[in-house]
Chain A
Amino acid sequence: MARGKKICENVGFRLVRSTSFGRKRVCLPDIADLDFISTTPTKKLCRQNSFSTCVKSHLEALPQDILIRIVCGVDHDDLKRLFHVSKTIREATLVAKRWHFEYSTPRKTLGFMNATFPLNWSESNDVEVPNAPRQSKFPRTGLSQKKLADISVALFTSDDEENWPRRELFMQMDTKI
């Protein structure tokens, strides 16, 4: 009950309790607050400059949590452009970068995209991804394919058991390791 009253008060309405409605309650507007209620939340007047009709854009007028959620939907490359748009957008971009972009993989995009130029996807691996950890393209192990074949052992016996040199294999392992 208190919750409903709070919602009504927040939007500038007062409760009227009427016996004719039984348990049902109706909100009536407070006359003094009527002008405030009719103002749409999308426009905020800039108080600093009284000589110009300085109206904040819809994007900047959004609550910051919603703005951050929207910025989380753009690509990594768009972040640097958003940084320079305005102070409000920059703040939201910084938060989105910390919460979202540092834990997500950037989409690799080529510097130029020409529809007539045949795409060579093998070259896309050369595109640098910002802040990505460097990964080696080749496995860094001391074992070659030949050595792996020598020490590999069949896990399950088959009908061709005589083809698997078991005893000799263990002797080979002793010498190489």
Chain B
Amino acid sequence: MITLQSSDKDVFEIEQSILIQSGTIKNMVEDDFTFIPLPSVDTETLIKIIEYMKKHADKTDSKEKNIKEFDKDFMKKTLNELFALVFAANYLHISSLLELLYPSIADRIKDKITEAIRQIFSIRCDFTPEEERRIIMDNKWAHEGTEIEGTLD
């Protein structure tokens, strides 16, 4: 059993076989650590990470459909929760979770106008009006959309 401690000082005892899905934890376990503090991961996010790893620990064929359904529901979270998961999964090196998170966040960006993206993600525009004009000039491909570089003739 391995003990994980969140940034909120809550401790969780989990089986090693489940936790080695995290590259970071696997390395520390190989170096004989049994108590692993995770100062970058808060309790709420750590609970979700552990839930994910428990579900994915047993990847037999019969449970594959079950796992896919779980993953689909697992991604139904707020943006803040998804970002917290991305940071945690990146720190813990859980590549399968990251591969799930990338398209989930990308879906929140798709088909939105620039201003909507700024509002949803709380981004401040740091372009000056001259810079905006230059961007449009330098990247006509993004705005005209009809340029064709070559033909098959």
Contacts and interface: CB of A to CB of B under 8 A. Distances in A.
B97 interface: no
A77 to B, nearest CB: 8
Counting chain A residues whose Cβ lies within 8 A of the other chain, the interface size class is: 35 or more
Instruction: Name which of B139, B146, B152 has the most chain A CB atoms within 10 A of its CB.
Output: B139
A7 B37 contact: no
A25 to B, nearest CB: 6
A125 interface: no
A80 B83 contact: no
Contacts of A41: 40, 87
Interface stretch (B11-19, B52-60, B69-77, B110-118): B110-118
B39 A89 contact: no
Contacts of A60: 121, 123
A60 B152 CA distance: 41
Contacts, number: 153
A86 interface: yes
Given A27-B35, A82-B109, A134 B152 contact: yes
Nearest to B143: A80
A130 interface: yes
A66 interface: yes
A24 B3 CA distance: 13
B98 A83 contact: no
B96 to A, nearest CB: 14
Contacts of B126: 86-87
A84 B114 contact: yes
Nearest to A11: B39
Interface residues of B, number: 59
A79 B142 contact: yes
A27 B139 CA distance: 51
A84 B135 contact: yes
B31 A86 contact: no
A141 B37 CA distance: 70
A71 B28 contact: no
Contacts of B123: 57, 59-60, 85-86, 89
B102 A84 contact: no
Nearest to B109: A74
Contacts of B32: 4, 23-25
B135 A75 contact: no
Given A11-B37, A26-B35, A66-B90, A42 B83 contact: yes
Interface of A: 1, 3-4, 7, 11-13, 23-27, 29, 37-38, 40-42, 54, 57-60, 62-63, 66, 69-75, 77-87, 89-90, 128, 130-136, 140
Interface of B: 7, 24, 27-28, 30-37, 39-40, 42, 79-80, 83-84, 86-87, 90, 98, 102-103, 105-107, 109-114, 117-118, 121-127, 132, 135, 139, 141-153
Given A26-B34, A70-B105, A72-B102, 4 more contacts: A59-B83, A80-B143, A83-B139, A131-B147
